[in-house]
Amino acid sequence: MAGHALTAAPTGRSLASPVARVRTALIVVALLAWEALAASGLVVHDVVPSLGKIASALWSLVIGGVTGAVVGLVLGGNRFLSRAFEPYLHYLGPTPKIIFFPIMIMWFGVGGGSKIAMGALSCFFPVALSTAVGMRQIEPVLVRVGKSFRATTAQMVAKIYLPAIRPAMLTGLRLGLGVAVIGVLLAETKLSNRGLGYLVIQRYTTFDMPGMYALLIVVFLLAIVANALLTRWSGDSVR
Amino acid sequence: MSENGSGDSRFGPVAVGLATIVIVFAILEAMLRAGWINRFIVPLPSAVVASFGRVIAEENVLHRTLFTGAEALAAGVFVAIVGGALGVLLTRSRLLRLATEGWVAALAAAPLVLIYPLFLVLFGRNALTIIMIGFAAGLPPMILKTVEGLSGTRRVLIDVGRSFGLSSAQEFWKIRFPAALPTIFVGLRLGIMFALINIVGVEFLINFGGLGQLVNELAERYDLPAMYAAIVFVVLVSVAFFLATERIERWLATR
- Per-residue pLDDT at A163 exceeds 60: yes
Percentage of residues of chain A with pLDDT beyond 90: 8
Residue range B225-245: average pLDDT? 87
List Cβ neighbours of B80 (8 Å cut-off, separation of 6 or more): B142, B188, B191
Number of domains composing chain A: 1
CA distance B210 to B66: 8
Residue B201 lies in a domain: yes
Q: Average pLDDT, stretch B130-149?
A: 92
The predicted model gives A202-226 an average pLDDT of 83
Same domain, yes or no: B2 and B36: yes
Integer Cα distance of B177 and B171 in angstroms = 9
Could you tell me if residue A226 is inside a domain? Answer: yes
Mean pLDDT for B135-154 is: 91
Domain that holds residue A217: 51-238
pLDDT in tens, B162-207: 899 888 888 888 888 888 888 898 899 889 988 998 999 899 988 8
Cβ contacts of A58 within 8 Å, gap of 6 or more: none
Residues B12 and B86 in one domain: no
pLDDT value at residue A3: 39
CB nearest A96 (choices: B20, B121, B238)? B238
pLDDT score, position B14: 83
Domain that holds residue B28: 1-42
- Clarify whether residues B92 and B112 are in a common domain: yes
Per the structure, the count of domains in chain B is 2
Instruction: Answer yes or no: do B194 and B95 share one domain.
Output: yes
Contact state of B197 with A185 under an 8 Å Cβ cutoff:
no
**Where does the pLDDT of residue A234 fall: very low under 50, low under 70, confident under 90, or very high at 90 and above?**
low
C-alpha A20: how far from chain center: 20
Contact residues on chain B for A103, CB-CB shorter than 8 A: 227-228, 231
- Among all residues of chain B, which has the CA nearest to that of A90? B239
Query: Residue B98: inside a domain, yes or no?
Result: yes
> Would you put residue B153 in left (φ > 0), alpha (ψ -120 to 50) or beta?
beta
- B119 at A interface, C-beta within 8 A: no
Residue B47 lies in a domain: no
Cβ-based contacts of B111 with chain A (< 8 Å): 178, 181-182, 185, 219-220, 223
In this structure, is residue A32 part of a structural domain? Answer: no
Least confident of A33-47, A82-96, B50-64, B154-168: A33-47
Decide if A201 contacts B216 (C-beta within 8 A): no
In this prediction, the answer to ipTM > 0.85 reads no
User: Which of A92, A98, A178 lies nearest to residue B109, judging by beta carbons?
Assistant: A178
pLDDT bracket for residue B138 (50, 70, 90): very high
Q: Check which CATH number belongs to the domain holding A82 and give it.
A: 1.10.3720.10
**pLDDT higher than 60, residue B2:** no
- For A32, A151, B29, B67, B198, the CA distances from B192, given in Å and listed in that order, are 42, 47, 37, 15, 10
- Domain annotation covers residue A167: yes
If asked whether residues B37 and B61 sit together in one domain, one would say no
Q: CATH number of the domain that B135 lies in?
A: 1.10.3720.10
In DSSP notation, B130-167 reads HHHHHHHHHHHHHHHHHHHHHHT--HHHHHHHHHTT--
Q: Which of B21, B205, B232 to mutate to test the interface with A (most CBs of A within 10 A)?
A: B205
B212, B204 contact by CB (below 8 A): yes
- With CB atoms and an 8 Å threshold, state whether A95 touches B235: yes
* Contact call for residues B48 and B232 (beta carbons, < 8 A): yes
**Residue A73: which of A122, A135, A160 has the closest Cα?**
A135
* Percent of all residues in chain B with a pLDDT value above 90, rounded to a whole number: 21
* Residue A41 is assigned to a structural domain of this protein: no
> What's the sign of the alpha-carbon dihedral B147, B116, B65, B2?
positive
Residue A29 within a domain = no
Q: Is residue B58 located within the same domain as residue B117?
A: yes
Predicted pLDDT at A45:
56
- The 10s digit of each residue's pLDDT in A113-141 is 888 899 999 999 999 999 998 888 888 89
Question: B86 and B3 in one domain?
Answer: no
pLDDT of res. A68: 92
At residue B128, the pLDDT reads 92
A170 domain residue, yes or no = yes
Q: Looking at residue B27, what is its pLDDT?
A: 92
Pick from A186, A204, A227: which is nearest to B201 by CB?
A: A186
Q: Decide: A178 and A223 in contact? Cβ < 8 Å.
A: yes
Instruction: Tell me if A178 is assigned to some domain.
Output: yes
CB contact under 8 A, A103 and B197: no
Cβ distance B200 to A186 under 8 Å? Answer: no
Spatial contact of B145 and B183, defined as CB atoms under 8 Å apart: yes
CB contact under 8 A, A224 and B110: yes
Residue B6 and residue B119 share a domain: no
B91 and B191 together in one domain:
yes
Q: Which residues of A touch B10 (CB under 8 A)?
A: 83
pLDDT tens digit sequence for B59-82? 888 888 899 989 999 999 999 999
B243 touching A (Cβ < 8 Å) = yes
Cα–Cα distances in Å, from A10 out to A23, A109, B76? Answer: 19, 52, 49
Q: Is the pLDDT of residue B7 over 80?
A: no
Q: Running DSSP on this structure, what letter comes out for residue B209?
A: S
Question: How many secondary structure helices (H) and strands (E) does chain A include?
Answer: 10, 0
* Segment among A57-61, A227-231, B31-35, B234-238 with least mean pLDDT: A227-231
Looking at the domain assignment, is residue A24 inside a domain?
no
Beta carbons of B42 and A216 less than 8 Å apart: no
Q: B34 and B114 share a domain?
A: no
